[in-house]
Chains A and B, each alone.
Chain A
């Protein structure tokens, strides 16, 4: 398959790359809609089960961690318009499903979207990439801690960056202001819930979402981007950690997302198989070690 692709695109020009990439764009990523709404319903079910005494709190705690670890990606898909695909009439799905999915993480879809778009625009730029402070650190545990600067009152360096973007980008400012309303709702909701169900709020919501935020910082930001320079084909790497791709939310192949953010998460393996010759030709870190077929088990070891 690799040889065949090489022959098909022997000049590797950007137009040929874009033409091929476009064949993987535009569909409604229904899998993310199912995961986004499904994990939220499951999480509510955990609360109901614990409060009614059907399962013990400690079991609910572990189930919540598992469930909440699925809450970010559907919002991420919504941030890039994957939930509506090429259908303009379905655009509302991106924000609605994205926000519902983020309830267990107590985060605003609009704020995360505004910040994430800047990450794509300025990946690995120390002055303008909002993810820089938890990505470019020496150890994974530093990423796990620093990523919490993106929530709550936040890292002062990030706050300064956000203020800068708000001054120069009206769309960014509008998204932050819109998202602030949701952040306030989550702020009060957690306090009110804690008054009535203190230990449940701690172990089914606060601790799981903190652990998952650390996980996201390490797997989604630090591993794919750490120590890499700026540049379309240089800022993200293929990586392995000995755990099957499924359990890392496929972030080993995050490089595909940075090349073409409009390609749906679940279509990335096929897109990589097709675009592999271009990736090698562009010198993308780790591209030469890619297997020809990207399965859930592949990329576990080089």
Chain B
């Protein structure tokens, strides 16, 4: 159990911010977009929010923005 937590912690130390932005901010960006747009969208449109979240995560990692999570 301790080893598993160590492995997860080690991975998240490097990539946690990107994962967080992809899932947390991606979901939020999606929800905001769906609230703003009035026209019908295809399922692939959902990728837009998560892609934005992922890019935001890479940028946050580059800038060391710990506050985003």
What is the minimal beta-carbon distance from B59 to any residue of chain A, in angstroms? Answer: 14
A148 to B60, CA, bound (A): 14
| Cross-chain pairs A/B with CB under 8 angstroms, 30 sampled | A145-B67, A148-B66, A148-B67, A149-B66, A151-B67, A152-B17, A152-B67, A152-B68, A152-B69, A153-B17, A153-B64, A154-B66, A156-B64, A180-B9, A181-B5, A187-B16, A191-B19, A191-B20, A191-B24, A191-B27, A194-B23, A194-B28, A198-B30, A199-B28, A201-B24, A201-B27, A201-B28, A202-B28, A206-B24, A210-B67
Other 17 A-B pairs with CB < 8 A, given A190-B69, A198-B30:
A145-B67, A148-B66, A151-B67, A152-B66, A152-B69, A153-B13, A153-B16, A184-B9, A187-B16, A187-B69, A191-B27, A194-B24, A195-B27, A198-B27, A198-B28, A199-B31, A206-B24
Q: Which 7 A-B pairs have the closest CB atoms?
A: A198-B31, A152-B66, A148-B67, A153-B66, A191-B23, A198-B27, A194-B27
- B69 touching A180 by the CB < 8 A rule? no
Interface presence of B32 (CB below 8 A): yes
Chain A interface residue bracket vs B? 20 to 34
Main SS at interface, chain B: helix
Interface presence of A155 (CB below 8 A): yes
What is the minimal beta-carbon distance from B58 to any residue of chain A, in angstroms? Answer: 14
Instruction: Report A's interface with B, CB cutoff 8 A.
Output: 145, 148-149, 151-156, 180-181, 184, 187, 190-191, 194-195, 198-199, 201-202, 206, 210
User: How many inter-chain residue pairs (CB < 8 Å) link A and B?
Assistant: 59
Give the nearest-CB partner of A195 in chain B. Answer: B27
Interface presence of B47 (CB below 8 A): no
Q: Cβ of B55: which chain A residues have Cβ within 8 Å of it?
A: none
A295 to B68, CA, bound (A): 39
Q: Cβ of A190: which chain B residues have Cβ within 8 Å of it?
A: 20, 24, 69
Counting chain B CB atoms within 10 Å of each CB, the highest count among A151, A152, A154, A195 belongs to: A152
Give the nearest-CB partner of A210 in chain B. Answer: B67
What is the minimal beta-carbon distance from B64 to any residue of chain A, in angstroms? Answer: 7
